[in-house]
């Protein structure tokens, strides 16, 4: 799925009890005006809207349910304008195949109690059916979520916006194509991923690739294409004096091949690793990945090394939320300053760097074969969120999250993506709790405090969240 087609489809249906309309002639026009405003606000988000209109009874609701089912919605918003019976929304929730968000937005923050009549009060009565819906949904096994407020309550609209963003993630994962190229880094049991479980939790497809799929594309790269990619790298990175021109050109050649691989297989993410032997071509391909993987990640197609499929998916979630999401692991603890140092040797999300990222030449990649160029950068200072994809002994996935702040301090200069994160507590105690959460040894590091958004994503996906 290209980044231009990641907009979610949001279904909208508003409703109220038809028995009221002949009793209070002014009520329905008032409620439809509110429904029109809600539709306008939803269209202001980056989403496609399927509007099923206003329903007044179970028969109209069934018609709306069919329209929303056919619309292949990623989220359905049910606007409770006044009291309505559960049977009016149950078919929509049951038939659509999409999660449902109920919103209760009364006309203003408070009624004018001195002058309000029964018909006017009923326009403020969207809260009344909310427990009824919740009870019926719960008994039917339908997940329940809601936002209550008033039409011009920006706090409520911020929450609604989170659900729309979460629907974007759900859409990307439902239709996502994740490349898995090479083989597992020997002995990394935590990284080992059951491809069936990826599909079971998120939908989408895992495309199993060989490094030969990359090799045949790299072999067809022209010298002019290499020159263009080198020029791109020189415009994006600061080049350290340690960068060897031949290594830079090899990384650029591999990067062009990666671009073709991603396009040919229509990939939304990529996880890779290949060990190789004695400087042969596959070893050189594996060692030449970092430049191209970083440029791909900056384009919204996260690429993670060490065959780390679950982390490349976590990086994709963070990227769709607008947080970036860089490939990360623990590096050291600084007890003097109270910081946790984290990053990785290799691909980075260049768009969240605190400065122009550095490209450094390395004669050796620690723990890996080969040599070449590597990325050195520090995530932009300020609030950040960690997102790891955990798995328990029953195979169930969970989002494991923690919020902190990237702060200034001394950093290693060894071609790693290193950031200092302050969690406001003893770094050793935080590390023990983080490890005990069940997170693997890699995760995505993104900018901003995103736990509320990630919780919304988890709700739509039906998986648990563990916050450290």
- How do residues 240-283 score in pLDDT, each as one tens digit? 999 999 999 999 999 999 999 999 999 999 999 998 888 899 99
Same domain, yes or no, for 305 and 156? no
Look at residue 170 and tell me if it is in a domain. Answer: no
Q: Which residues contact 436 (CB under 8 A, 6 or more apart)?
A: none
pLDDT at residue 364, as a whole number = 67
Same domain, yes or no, for 425 and 362? yes
Same domain, yes or no, for 213 and 118? no
Look at residue 169 and tell me if it is in a domain. Answer: no
361: confidence class by pLDDT, cuts 50, 70, 90? confident
Same domain, yes or no, for 135 and 219? no
Look at residue 44 and tell me if it is in a domain. Answer: yes
What are the tokens at 374? 């590597």
Q: Which domain holds residue 426?
A: 176-467
pLDDT at residue 3, as a whole number = 55
- Identify the residue with better confidence: 368 or 392: 392
Same domain, yes or no, for 408 and 350? yes
Same domain, yes or no, for 180 and 126? no
CA separation for the pair 325, 317 (Å, rounded): 8
Whether residue 2 is predicted with pLDDT greater than 80 in this model: the reply is: no
415: confidence class by pLDDT, cuts 50, 70, 90? confident
pLDDT at residue 4, as a whole number = 56
For the segment 430-436, the average pLDDT, to the nearest whole number, is 97
Judged by DSSP in three states, 263 sits in helix
Look at residue 364 and tell me if it is in a domain. Answer: yes
Same domain, yes or no, for 142 and 188? no
Look at residue 171 and tell me if it is in a domain. Answer: no
Same domain, yes or no, for 216 and 188? yes
Domain-ending residue, one of 140, 164, 188: 164
- How do residues 4-51 score in pLDDT, each as one tens digit? 578 999 999 999 999 999 999 999 999 999 999 999 999 999 899 999
Same domain, yes or no, for 79 and 12? yes
Torsions phi, psi for 152 (to 5 deg): -110, 25
Judged by DSSP in three states, 219 sits in coil
pLDDT at residue 372, as a whole number = 77
CA separation for the pair 66, 97 (Å, rounded): 11
- How do residues 379-394 score in pLDDT, each as one tens digit? 999 999 999 999 999 9
pLDDT at residue 69, as a whole number = 94
CA separation for the pair 75, 69 (Å, rounded): 11
Look at residue 299 and tell me if it is in a domain. Answer: yes
370: confidence class by pLDDT, cuts 50, 70, 90? low
Same domain, yes or no, for 142 and 285? no
In DSSP notation, 129-181 reads: THHHHHHHHHHHT----EEEEETT-HHHHHHHHHHHHHHHHHHHHHH-EEEEE
Same domain, yes or no, for 293 and 377? yes
pLDDT at residue 278, as a whole number = 85
Domain-ending residue, one of 110, 142, 164: 164
- CATH number, domain of 325, equals 3.20.14
- How do residues 114-155 score in pLDDT, each as one tens digit? 999 999 999 999 999 999 999 999 999 998 899 999 999 999
pLDDT at residue 412, as a whole number = 86
The total domain count for the chain is 2
Pick the closest to residue 445 from 355, 334, 358, 349 (CA basis).
349
Among residues of the chain, what percentage have pLDDT more than 70?
97
Domain-ending residue, one of 143, 164, 185: 164
Look at residue 373 and tell me if it is in a domain. Answer: yes
Whether residue 406 is predicted with pLDDT greater than 80 in this model: the reply is: yes
Specify the DSSP class assigned to residue 436.
H
- CATH number, domain of 11, equals 3.40.50.10940
Same domain, yes or no, for 101 and 183? no
- How do residues 82-112 score in pLDDT, each as one tens digit? 999 999 999 899 888 899 999 999 999 999 9
- How do residues 339-358 score in pLDDT, each as one tens digit? 999 999 878 899 999 999 99
- How do residues 284-299 score in pLDDT, each as one tens digit? 999 899 999 999 999 9
Look at residue 399 and tell me if it is in a domain. Answer: yes
For 333, the enclosing helix (H) or strand (E) is strand 324-334
Q: Which residues contact 267 (CB under 8 A, 6 or more apart)?
A: 177, 178, 179, 207, 261, 301
Q: What is the mean pLDDT of the chain?
A: 94
């Amino acid at each position: 799925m290209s980044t231009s087609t990641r907009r979610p489809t949001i279904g909208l249906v508003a409703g109220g009890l038809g028995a009221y309309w002949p009793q209070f002639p002014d009520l329905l026009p008032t409620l439809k005006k509110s429904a029109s405003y809600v539709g306008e606000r939803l269209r202001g988000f980056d989403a496609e809207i399927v509007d099923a209109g206003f329903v007044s009874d179970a028969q109209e609701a069934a018609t709306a349910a069919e329209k929303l089912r056919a619309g292949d919605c990623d989220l359905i918003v049910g606007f409770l304008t006044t009291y309505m019976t559960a049977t009016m929304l149950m078919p929509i929730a049951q038939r659509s195949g999409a999660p449902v968000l109920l919103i209760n937005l009364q006309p203003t923050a408070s009624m004018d109690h001195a002058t309000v009549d029964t018909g006017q009060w009923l326009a403020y009565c969207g809260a009344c059916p909310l427990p009824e819906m919740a009870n019926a949904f719960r008994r039917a096994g339908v997940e329940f979520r809601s936002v209550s407020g008033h039409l011009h309550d920006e706090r409520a609209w911020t929450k609604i916006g989170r659900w729309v963003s979460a629907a974007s993630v759900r859409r990307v994962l439902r239709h996502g194509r994740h490349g898995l190229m090479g083989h597992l880094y020997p002995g990394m049991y935590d990284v080992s991923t059951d491809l069936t479980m990826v599909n079971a939790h998120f939908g989408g497809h895992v495309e199993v690739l060989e490094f030969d799929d990359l090799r045949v594309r790299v072999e067809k790269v022209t010298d002019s294409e290499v020159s263009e990619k080198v020029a791109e790298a020189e415009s994006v990175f600061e080049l350290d004096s340690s960068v060897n021109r031949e290594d830079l050109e090899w990384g650029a050649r591999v990067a062009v091949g990666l671009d073709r691989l991603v396009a040919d297989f229509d990939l939304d993410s990529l996880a890779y690793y290949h060990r190789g032997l004695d400087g042969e071509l596959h070893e050189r391909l594996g060692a030449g990945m970092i430049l191209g993987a970083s440029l791909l990640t900056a384009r919204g197609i996260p690429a993670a090394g060490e065959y780390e499929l679950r982390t490349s998916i976590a990086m994709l979630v963070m990227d769709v939320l607008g947080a970036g999401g860089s490939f990360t692991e623990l590096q050291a603890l600084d007890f003097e300053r109270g910081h946790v140092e984290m990053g990785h040797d290799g691909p980075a999300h260049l768009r969240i760097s605190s400065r122009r990222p550095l490209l450094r030449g390395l004669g050796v990649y620690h723990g890996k074969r080969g040599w070449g160029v590597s990325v050195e950068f520090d995530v932009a200072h300020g609030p950040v969120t960690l997102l790891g994809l955990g798995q328990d002994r029953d195979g169930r996935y969970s989002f494991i999250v923690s919020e902190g702040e990237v702060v200034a301090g001394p950093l290693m200069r060894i071609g790693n993506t290193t950031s200092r994160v302050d969690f406001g507590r003893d770094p050793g105690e935080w590390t023990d709790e983080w490890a005990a959460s069940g997170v693997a040894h890699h995760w995505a590091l993104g900018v901003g405090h995103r736990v509320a958004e990630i919780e919304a994503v988890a709700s739509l996906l039906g998986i648990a969240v563990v916050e450290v």
